Amino acid sequence: MQRILPLVAAQAPPRLIGEPISAFVEETSKALEHHPSAKLVVFPELHLFGDGDPDLQRTEALQESAEPLDGPRVSELRQLAGDLGIWLVPGSVCERGPEGQLFNTQLVLSPEGELAGYYRKIFPWRPHEPYDPGDRFAVVDLDGTTRVGLNICYDAWFPETTRQLAWMGAEVILNVVKTTSPDRKQEVVLARANAIVNQVFVVSVNCAGPTGQGRSLIVDPEGNAIVETPDAEPTLLAADLDLTAVDRVRTHGTEGVNRMWSQFNSGEPAIGFPVYQGRIDPATWTPQSPDLRNNP
């Protein structure tokens, strides 16, 4: 059964805080013109929250711009996704939590104009970000085509995050990024490594210059770059992900050899991980299956 996810990832400079949503509507429409068959469009972390100075990204300006998820900003984004009939990840937004917290929250808007899922960044970039950490991982099923895992920037430096999302059934990790520092070169390695060790697609889209370091890429389940940018110039990355590659690699092994999700034999004892006060239990090691019941 063929399963294809056409998508566009926009390596773009952040829009200024307070800029009218109409500018983002035009930007999203142009991304679709680049790849008209795209069902998913993804923008970088905090794309709607630039202030023109990378050293001032995480200041009171972000605090003042925060809104709850039922506020006017998300309402406008929902309408945009519905009008265009696409799955839309507008990067992440500054969310004002129910108890006044400040979260860096990734959104997924559906073609029906609904908030299909959201994820509050679990690993804010300490000590530079003012955000409160989230406390749960998030995956979203895209109309029975695939399940995507939500992931923000510094989360990728912690291997537990991608592993957890893959175990939850994610076949594609959407890693939205706003890296302004020289360590983007390490993040490119991490995008490949996280794809390899979890046998998933990774879409790592960073903001463009002059704010960001760019170097966005889309990686297949064996760690190969399907498409990537060598610099920080604004650009659009388009790809048609053949999702059956996840099943193929997990069945036959990376390079036909390594099958990490089939590591254990039936009845083998659990392996303790003291650092987590937990364990890997062979009985629950297999990833969950995405809900593909609606796929023709």
Domains and CATH numbers, the chain: 4-284 (3.60.110.10)
Residue 153 is a catalytic residue: yes
Structure tokens at 271: 């392996």
* pLDDT tens sequence across 112-166: 999 999 999 999 999 888 899 999 999 999 988 999 999 999 999 999 999 999 9
Give the per-residue pLDDT at 296: 39
In contact, 197 and 159? CB cutoff 8 Å: yes
Residue matched to tokens 């020289």 = 182
The answer, yes or no, to whether residue 57 has pLDDT greater than 70, is no
Q: Which of 39, 94, 95, 121 is catalytic?
A: 121
21-33 average pLDDT score: 95
Q: Which of 153, 178, 187, 207 is catalytic?
A: 153
* pLDDT tens sequence across 177-221: 999 999 999 999 999 999 999 999 999 999 999 999 999 999 999
In contact, 155 and 202? CB cutoff 8 Å: no
Residue 255 is a catalytic residue: no
* pLDDT tens sequence across 30-55: 999 999 999 999 999 999 998 655 44
Q: Which of 39, 45, 187, 207 is catalytic?
A: 45
**Residues pairing with 40 in the sheet:** 7, 87
Residue 94 is a catalytic residue: no
Kindly tell me the burial class for residue 20, based on how many C-beta atoms sit within 10 Å of its own C-beta (0-12, 13-18, 19 or more): exposed
Extended beta strands in 139-277, E state: 139-142, 146-152, 172-176, 201-205, 217-219, 225-228, 235-242, 271-273
Give the per-residue pLDDT at 56: 47
Q: What is the pTM of this model?
A: 0.95
The answer, yes or no, to whether residue 62 has pLDDT greater than 90, is no
